[in-house]
Structure 1
């Protein structure tokens, strides 16, 4: 490793460590969730966080927004939210000099670096779909004109897996736009004690701003430069194909899977494995990185059938079994 590359890697690790520490000032524990969130950020994708109420999903996203010197907006998704409330609308303006009237596009809250879409599944599909172009293309089209969104652009959406009354499940096309589906679980006993101690006193932790847009874009560019070996790429391709029901698929897939993952899942696995390697100070992705990130990458893209639901089969167990069953060439 050259001295210049070693210096650059050391600087990047300092930036990542500072970001972790800044988030840790507001969020107790949840190390795996924070890591997956940073993987999504540096891989340049969007994240869907799921967990029961009160686990700190919104706090975690807000802490990330405070730690980044980026514009941050929060939108509470409700049944009466309209697409124009999200992407913006045209308003009638008047030139006071000439008296001429014209339409001016008024940007909505989606025009930001970091968008918190809180309880995304509580708004109708018409409004959910307004996010599709923004998430995929980084643009918004209105009245025949395309408007560029700021870079980087990062959507963090939350949804509650319980209380499904009055909710609108996200369609598969929109779920596929999320790079990662992150599950937020209950804290450990020690972490829970720290949370209730730290949040019921008079002091409030301030989250410092440690990274700006230029630094985030540089780290995203670095992720794409990292190496991943040919045999790992072939293994990822075999994993994707093994999730699709067919004559050559594993028996469990033929029995319990309705639709397998598409090529976008493979792209996500590669980028996320590289991003995780960077978080751990390595210049090449390994099988460990792929295995660590496979579940949040694939679980929202793999659709089980009615038989799986009837027999209580979980997508988590199926993905874990595939990681062990699909052969990986020796390094």
Structure 2
């Protein structure tokens, strides 16, 4: 029997129900570590250029992904920050054994902007509204397996969204988001990886995508070696291989990726990602000594 259903005489004996059951999860964990889902780290679901309205098709090793833009264009890798924020909140809540966890979330725009290293001015809130529209409008058709299930399915990057605003000034108070069932299964199965908070400091979309791939494939290993042709395909870049090669060379020289160093072997057209931890340094030294023994210049 709910408190609201009892008569006045009974109210003197019962405290009010201050925490009534909600039909959404409140994303209010301020110290949640950033988490990214494995499937979107592996496959280029998000566009690298704003305003991209092309249908993109990606196929590799039996997995196919078709990305269809909405009216506002495809969701970009910067829009993906909202995905990462939601995943991070849900995984942390599950780890804390919270009972209200589900694929419908309520969050504040301010918390999201702070967590993803964004400004909190009016323009940032407006851009957040644009992000929601692109995520909902972009459609994915894929046979990616999640939580042991492989099925051909189509879905939006978010199923629906709702912004709650104040009447007197229109300021964004809260956002309700429904994540696709496909992503929710990944979260429940914890098919996720922790990413560096410095990921949100990377300005260039391709740098973010390259970091995702390094984090996914290098993981806890000392290094990940990959041909430029394969890296180009995995990245989802629309640049020519020649231009992509120049970009990776510049990225290696800048040495700005969180967690990993990039070494570009122009002669073999190969990039090697070394973990910045000690084991990565040892692996890089070992590779350098091997090249010296072969008579190659470092």
Instruction: Report TM bin, short chain.
Output: under 0.3
Whichever of the two has the greater Rg, that structure is: 2
Structure in which a larger fraction of residues adopt strand: 2
TM-score (normalizing by structure 2): 0.26
Structure in which a larger fraction of residues adopt helix: 1
Larger RCO (CA under 8 A, 6+ residues apart): 1
TM-score (normalizing by structure 1): 0.24
